[in-house]
Structure 1
């Protein structure tokens, strides 16, 4: 089966385990993220003021209305298995090596998925620019553990760590309705 270039860019390019070990660096956990220099920490700060929160909620609402509902947004960004149900959608940030990336966290009966709020510019080998969304899909059956944690210096900053069977760590932060979202993640995992 042949896939399109866009599909390969969005889903990822297969690499061997040796290549992965050489090229992937572990993301720092929340405790080390707080130890950056003052200028870096300002760049990493999450948007927490009321006007930014309202803008984000309006943005989510506009996206949902344009596409025709939360489930249609999920189907547009990710394929759904037969019998799969969407349980919860929440706005959050995904920790990346470039800093927090704003987006949507989707929790379904089969997977946990993240999609960036905005598209990003990516250049092909031919020099053509494509705009794609940053996406992460983690099948529930591949999740080894999930933990709640908080910044020791700023207890109001809470994080969700998802660790896969192959020991990749995904850090979610700035999760709206944090406790409710974590409960949906726990329920989805317990039923997987």
Structure 2
């Protein structure tokens, strides 16, 4: 990704956030939010999938970690029509077993945050603007969730 593409993406994201009325409203619009649940942090990143990385926003709340793609993916409906839907993931904090740091062996500057759920699913997030800060925040939120359960 070139610097100009990154800048365009940031400006586009900023415009969408302003249009929607803030990051909190975007979070509440895209995900079901429980009473008393608070959005703690949101950051741009990619979700690694078998068909390649998907750009989007990672939301960290007092109850869940949630991801929504910037662009819709194209799927086939049960009737056979092509439809566009956002790629969404929502993981309750109580279902997260651990978060682990990882990096690409061939490209050590490519760092990942691996989230493993209690039922064995793995989610790989990458491309954070500030990997260290985002990873430490994820660790802290998950640790605090474990301590309060």
Q: CA RMSD in A?
A: 1.3
1:1-192 to structure 2, matched below 5 A, reads: 47=1, 49-192=2-145
Q: TM-score, normalised by structure 2?
A: 0.91
Q: Is the 8 A contact 1:87 1:184 kept in 2?
A: no
- The runs of at least 4 aligned residues of structure 1 exceeding 6 Å deviation read none
CA contact (8 A) 1:90 1:177 kept: no
| Bigger radius of gyration | 1
Task: Please give the alpha-carbon distance, in whole angstroms, between the structure 1 residues aligned to 2:18 and 2:75.
Answer: 27
Is contact 1:91–1:105 with CA below 8 Å preserved after alignment? yes
Answer whether contact 1:142 1:164 (CA < 8 A) is retained: yes
Give the C-alpha shift of residue 122 in structure 1. 2.6
Please name the residue that 1:3 is paired with.
none
- Unaligned regions of 5+ residues in structure 1, if any? 1-46
Contact 2:44 2:56 in 1 (8 A): yes
Deviation for aligned residue 1:190: 1.8
Distance in 1, Cα, partners of 2:22 & 2:111 = 28
Structure 1 or 2: larger strand share?
2
Q: For the Cα contact (< 8 Å) 2:101–2:111, is it kept in 1?
A: yes
